[in-house]
Structures are given as structure tokens and as C-alpha cells.
Structure 1
Amino acid sequence: MSEQRVRIEIDEFGVATVTLNRAEKHNALDPAMFDAIVDATEQLATDRTVRAVVLHGAGKSFCSGLDITGLGNRDGSGPRDLLARADGHIANHAQRVAYGWSRVPAPVIAAITGNCFGGGLQIALGADIRFATPDARLSIMEVKWGLVPDMGITQSLPRLVGLDVAKELTFTGRILTGTEADALGLVTHVSDDPLAAAQELAHEIAGKSPHAVQAAKRLYEETWTGSDPESALMLESTLQVELMGSPNQIEAVTAGMTERAPAFADPD
């Protein structure tokens, strides 16, 4: 992993804990951090043993946003090279640190503490579920620097809030507490210990059929916004047919009927 900016630990239950590891800088996004997060999403997207992911920041903050000074030292054209798209990717390098979590088959749960600003918030919005402390500080902060949010927010924010709320938060860059973010729908739950809460939920999810959980994530990712009814309904049927009668589906039924813990196989 690039300069150890990100750590990944996977336990025996298939729960991967991903730690943004630049605590002294509140996990600000420098080039090495961008590279490491992209590497992490790619690794987890192909690891079939992973059944749930917990994403959090080391130290006091989840991620305080861009490290403007660090980005200025990037080889090549500076910050603009983050906007380049590699062959085969619909998102550019900057967008992939947020959008990439939606491409991980397993559910991703973010645990937010301290500052979660700008690009840091967009990374958190890329997760499937978010826990935050009541006093966490969240902001779509790009307007402060004369910019627009451009790290995948068009694929995440419309699923969570109305257009008027999105515009107000983007136009002002105002800082929300975790409690205020919860009321607006930016976070899923408020918790005094979001990492512990995220870990508990991740282990609950890891105990379900990974085929069913991953199919459900795919179903919602591909249909939640902008999908025509015919395609969405067809995907429901297609995924269901694939699950029905499969080994893990039979195991779920058998375990439920015999009141024992299921033993699910990892996806191929």
C-alpha cells in the first residue's frame, strides 16, 4: 500500500477494516493517500473472502479533505492530473477514491469522527452506510476554495437528500454536526462510538449469505436513481433467479428451519 497511507485488516469473519492512516494530518488527501485509497478499493473489489468493510480514519478525524500543499508536489501537472481517466475507468483518479467503494461487492460502512470535509465527505458518501459521532464536523467545503465538489458526489448525494438541501450545503459550505447530518440524511446513524457500531453491524452482515447481500447491493446501486422501471424490474428477476436454489440460498433455508447458525461459502 502506497507509503502505508491506508491499512487493511481482514478478520476470520470476512470483515475488512480499512484505516486511513495519516492521523497527524487528519487523514488529509495527498497524492499518496489518493493512490492508496484507489489501491484499497481495487483490492477489496476482487477479494471474495470479504463480506463487509468498515472504513474509518486513524486519530481524531475521518478525513479533513485535500492537502493542498501536498498536491502541489505531485509529479506532472499538479492537481490537474487527478482529473485524468485511466483506460477502462468511467471515473477519474480523484473520483475513484469515493466512487470506488460502490464497486466493492461487499457492503461498506463508514465510521466518521472529527473532521469530514470536502473530499473526505465525498469518500464517506461513497460508503453504503455511515455512522457519525454527534459532534463530528461534516461539510461540502469546496466552495471555500472557489471550487465545486467533483469526487463522485453526483452519484451519492442525490440518493440521500433533496436538490434544495444539496444546493444549500454546496453553495454555503457550512459545517454540520453529526446530529445535524443525521437529521438531513447524510449519515445513517449517530453513535458515541461509530467504529464499534460499524464493526458490530459489519459482523451482523457478514453472518448473512454473501451472495444475497452482494446481489442486493448491486440491485440498489444499479437502479436507485436514473433507472427505467423495465430494466430495474428485470434486474430484480435476474438476480433472484441466480440466487434461487443456489448452495448458499439452500443453506439459509436449512439453517433457518433447523434453528442453527448458517455456514455460508464465499462467492467464487
Structure 2
Amino acid sequence: MARVSVEIENHIARVTLTRGDKMNALDNDMVEAIVAAGEGLKGNNDVRVVVLSGEGPAFCAGLDVANFGKFAGADPVELVMPRSHGAANLFQQVCMVWTQLEVPVIAALHGVAFGGGLQLALGADIRIAHPETRLSVMEMKWGLVPDMGGMVILPKLMRSDVLRQLIYTADQVGAEAAQGMGLVTELSADPLARAMELAGQMALKSPSAMRAAKRLIAVSESGADEATVLHEESREQAALIGKPHQMEAIMANMQKRVPNFK
């Protein structure tokens, strides 16, 4: 069965988890399909924004417990230590592939985002959640640690003591509390509709400026020194000034019309 669908329209790629009958739980096929969907969008110049969502009652309930039996019979070192995607293994790439896309990614969350499902959402630039969504860094419940890329993102979003409490307890938190912690960007009664609204706004901005902004933010969050960040600000700006996308943005604003970026 298909696990993920990808539809591209008006420069927006809608990536949908389609295992709704299983709350989009992550079995091996789902993991591979999510990574393949993200990898397949790399370098696609027609795509300006990605919206990530899940069918059925939940965004993603985390690891499919049926997989524990498969893992029990495997060599854990061989299972998780090989680096199949640069610095990441296959499971970590579920989160990291979205950070590697050149364009903004918006995740629309509903139902639950547990364990690996939460880490998948963390790969997005922005997370819109229904107020009744529940989130959890759930790995400790199963005697494990977060290991799907979340530990790259979580320390950038949260205070250390709050992050430690979530990891150590595996407690579930509501969307409003998660927003206060930095896990959720915005609450919406219809997170997918709101995500699409934001995506529509972003798709009308200069594609080259949007990609430059994502690169620049990544540098600034990487721990680079002040001189490096200032240099990258100037380098990215120099590459934009006077170029066709910037000139079209200026003309569209002056003429009060929708821009037409080619």
C-alpha cells in the first residue's frame, strides 16, 4: 500500500501521510516512503513551499509497535549506526530531509504527534496544530531515547530543563502548552487550511529570496561565529540585489499586482 502521496499545484507540494487507518504509524515502508518523498522534492525548482500533513485521525502516532518484534531480532548496531544519508541514518532522515529542502516546510498537526511523529514534524520550519492535538517525546516509554533527528532540532526550540522533563517522563502535552514550550508555532481549528493559506502567501514571494532566507537562517542557527553570519548576510543579499526575482518583486509592489516569478 502507498504510505505517502505528493501533489504539486501552484508551486505548493502537498505531502500527505496516507496510512490513516493506522494513525500514520511508522513502519519500515512508511519510513522509506517519507524519506523518498522528501528526497524527491530536492532540486525541484517548481516547488516553493511544502505542506506536510496526515490523513485520518492523527498526524502520526510514532513508531508502529509491530516493528519492535522486527527490531528485537536485529543487531542494533547494524540497525541504527550505518550512515545512509550523509550524517544521518534512514530513521533520522525522516526528520532531517525536510530541513535539507531548499524551501519552507509547514507541518499541519492534528490528533497526535508522538515519538517519531513529533520528530517528523520537527523537520518542518513551521508547525500549525489543532488545539486538541497531543504531542509527546515518547521514546522513554519504550526504554529508548529520541533517535530520529529530533535532538538536532529540539535544543534550538526549547529550554533545556523543559526538554529534559519531556524526554525523561514521556508525558503528553496539549497543543497550547506545546506552543508555550516552542514545539508548536500556531494553533488553528483547521491546521491544514491554515498551513495552505500560509503556503499560498509564501509561494507569492521571490523564490530565490525565500531559498536564501532558509539558507541564512540555517547558518545563524548552526552556532557559526558573528563574523560568519554577517558575511553570509551580505553574500546572500549581494546575490539577490538587482536580479530578475528582486526586480519583479519591486515592480509588482509598485504596480500593486500579483508577482510573476519565472
After TM superposition, give the deviation of residue 78 of structure 1 in Å: 6.8
Relative to 1, partners in 2 of residues 1:45 and 1:71: Cα closer, same or farther, differing over 3 Å?
farther
Q: Please tell me the root mean square deviation across aligned C-alpha atoms, in Å.
A: 1.5
- Residues 100-140 of structure 1 show CA distances to partners (whole Å, capped at 9, x for unaligned) of 10001110000000111001001101100000011101000
Instruction: Say yes or no: does 1:234 pair with 2:236.
Output: no
Specify the alignment match of 1:10 in structure 2: 8
- 2 CA distance for matches of 1:258 and 1:34? 47
Specify the alignment match of 2:24 in structure 1: 27
Relative to 1, partners in 2 of residues 1:62 and 1:78: Cα closer, same or farther, differing over 3 Å?
farther
- 2 CA distance for matches of 1:71 and 1:242? 49
Moved over 6 A (4+): none
Specify the alignment match of 2:256 in structure 1: 259
Relative to 1, partners in 2 of residues 1:90 and 1:4: Cα closer, same or farther, differing over 3 Å?
same
Question: Which aligned pairs between 1:65-76 and structure 2 lie closer than 5 A?
Answer: 65-70=62-67, 72-73=69-70
- 1 CA distance for matches of 2:89 and 2:195? 29
Specify the alignment match of 1:77 in structure 2: 74
Task: Read off the aligned partner of 1:235 and give its amino acid letter.
Answer: E
- 2 CA distance for matches of 1:72 and 1:10? 37
Specify the alignment match of 1:99 in structure 2: 96
Contact 1:30–1:71 at 8 Å: present in 2 too? no
- 2 CA distance for matches of 1:215 and 1:175? 36
Specify the alignment match of 2:212 in structure 1: 215
Secondary structure, counterpart of 2:106 in structure 1: strand
Contact 1:161–1:184 at 8 Å: present in 2 too? yes
- 2 CA distance for matches of 1:18 and 1:78? 32
Relative to 1, partners in 2 of residues 1:64 and 1:10: Cα closer, same or farther, differing over 3 Å?
same
Identity %: 48
Unaligned runs of at least 5 residues, structure 1: none
After TM superposition, give the deviation of residue 204 of structure 1 in Å: 0.6
State TM-score, norm by structure 2: 0.95
